[in-house]
Structure 1
């Protein structure tokens, strides 16, 4: 090919690229304009809600946000995947809500753990997140009004239900306002991934090391592993050296400006953890909801069958049943039950009424939207 012909093709390519880039700039300006218009609408919503000086205005509506995200996914035509588009809108809603009323969210710490990652997945990155040292502190802060919402782990694929959380639900008067499902991927994080061949130390929480033991033994058998107290400490130490790494999730990389040198190094990549969002407000129906309850009963033959029979009669699908001894109670057994439907619906309302009239003690934990993301 002659130089003149090559130059002509390069000019034509540059002209074509220039047209596409100009169009991208136009689209970006329109997106920017619409984002600001949406933000101004959010401010107007806040003004309407606070008109008259009422302190009872509810700014965060879990059912409304779930409905918006479902609509986003249902109308998406690609090429962006449904989940990615929904995540973009989640962040837009988060920053707009912060203009109305910033949310304070507490979670079971320490910082940079998967519970914080679940909180940000659910609320977006414009909330104010604070780590607390115990599940009880999370429940107490929310009940006392020091925080708007709390995020707590409730179950994972390996260990089942977090029993201490069930005990706290029986003690505190809070509602479940939402759920988050999170795949707990562990990554090898480095400040300079290009230096991975010179890696000489891996910092990690003992739990993370156990989750990734097979990968470590196969790929980094000669690298020193140092146990630390938290994912945040591991990431902080890795950020200080080009030949050090940390094991942690996406949030550790984000908070400490690390890059993923090796992704998904956990031994069980399909591990799924479920988190609950607790708050003081009741949540209206979103159209695709769950309800959670605690049932306290005496331990006797047939007790569980009697508890579950009302669900069968109404063809209500159970999504989780967990039992354990009831702590510090006149009752013998504590049953945690998740099922499909909202307590405002006729069938669920009848179910709860029947359960309350039986030989059990029932505590309603709340109805809330099914996890969208």
Structure 2
């Protein structure tokens, strides 16, 4: 037991500061309740992504340490989440079961004072948000090593939902089993994206063990927790939830592996000051059509940050093109570029404008994407 007279006054000082923090948190919560009353009278949404993005950026910019900006943002995200829950707990659908990277993305975006709704497939994530069972859905869009999640792209083409935010999650895969070793293991299960992200490592260490694709890494962990003959690739959090022990950690082939998620809802997000706009379009089937379609972006000084193509499965066009660009659709130069692009397109759909809410930790990390189905 530490017995140092120098600690007593410091602990008393911490206790006094904690009392001040508690009082300020209570004051903030009471003001948030007043905001909630006004919102209920005007039927305004409980969650405003652009407002929360602005708060998180501001606290990171004003932070003077010694706490890291990312840690400050985490604290304030939870404060906003708890205050928001005084109005109403937001329900968010995600690819389940519990323990997936998709669930982690939910909490990174909304904080922990939300109600998560695990779904068996990405289709169900969309369906829950479309039907109103969930206020928002969180779906994987792309992975930095494996590229686009095609099912999400296809559903974005069909849905009435809009993208209202994005989340980037570092993906750390662990190989786990009930015993903590591979004795008696006949198959390794994981989502197909996770198997692909760990392919070189698996080929080197366990080339002869069967690999089974699952609907999610969380489901793989659940199955392995009930069957000694299975090992799972998943997050260590998922392993803990289903009684697994780590055989090897961080087995992903790319040490900087990340997955990017889209936050989906019926909300039209207002400009936050640092935004991104996503669209999908198709072009007439003629030479130079794609080049000509993208010309308005260059003309009006709009920077394109992502370009993805998907084969068209119906209609008269060969491909749909998914584009992310800097800026909000309400920004004058972006609005002009989109108007010209829409005029020329054989098909055009706005997927949403939303805060480019990169955390302080993400800014310090190496490459930001491209996401899980993990």
Q: What is the TM-score with the length of structure 2 in the denominator?
A: 0.82
Alignment partner of 2:56 out of 43, 51, 69: 69
Alignment partner of 2:190 out of 166, 181, 206: 206
3-state SS of 1:291 partner = strand
Matched, 1:344 2:334: no
Alignment of 1:76-155 (within 5 A): 76-155=63-142
Alignment of 1:1-373 (within 5 A): 14-51=4-41, 56-187=43-174, 205-207=189-191, 208=194, 211-212=197-198, 229=214, 231-232=217-218, 235=221, 247-249=233-235, 251-252=237-238, 255=241, 263-373=249-359
Could you tell me which runs of 5 or more consecutive residues in structure 2 were left unpaired when the two chains were aligned.
360-374
Task: Give the C-alpha shift of residue 133 in structure 1.
Answer: 2.2
Per the alignment, do residues 204 and 75 of structure 1 end up closer, same or farther by CA in structure 2, a change over 3 Å counting?
A: farther
Q: Larger relative contact order (C-alpha < 8 A, sep ≥ 6)?
A: 2
CA contact (8 A) 1:201 1:245 kept: no
Per the alignment, do residues 217 and 27 of structure 1 end up closer, same or farther by CA in structure 2, a change over 3 Å counting?
A: farther
Greater CA drift, 104-113 or 331-340: 104-113
3-state SS of 1:35 partner = helix
Greater CA drift, 312-321 or 33-42: 33-42
Alignment RMSD (CA, Å):
3.3
- Structure 1 runs of 4+ with >4 Å offset: 188-191, 198-204, 207-218, 224-230, 233-241, 244-247, 253-263
C-alpha distance after superposition, 1:239-270 (max 9, x if no partner) = 899xx986432542674688979653433211
Partner of 1:3: none
CA contact (8 A) 1:151 1:275 kept: yes
C-alpha distance after superposition, 1:272-301 (max 9, x if no partner) = 211111110100000000001111222321
Return the index of the structure with the highest Cα Rg. 1
Distance 2:319 2:268 in 1: 27
Distance 1:125 1:250 in 2: 19
CA contact (8 A) 2:199 2:253 kept: yes
Distance 2:252 2:126 in 1: 31
Q: What is the TM-score with the length of structure 1 in the denominator?
A: 0.82
Per the alignment, do residues 262 and 69 of structure 1 end up closer, same or farther by CA in structure 2, a change over 3 Å counting?
A: farther
3-state SS of 1:205 partner = strand
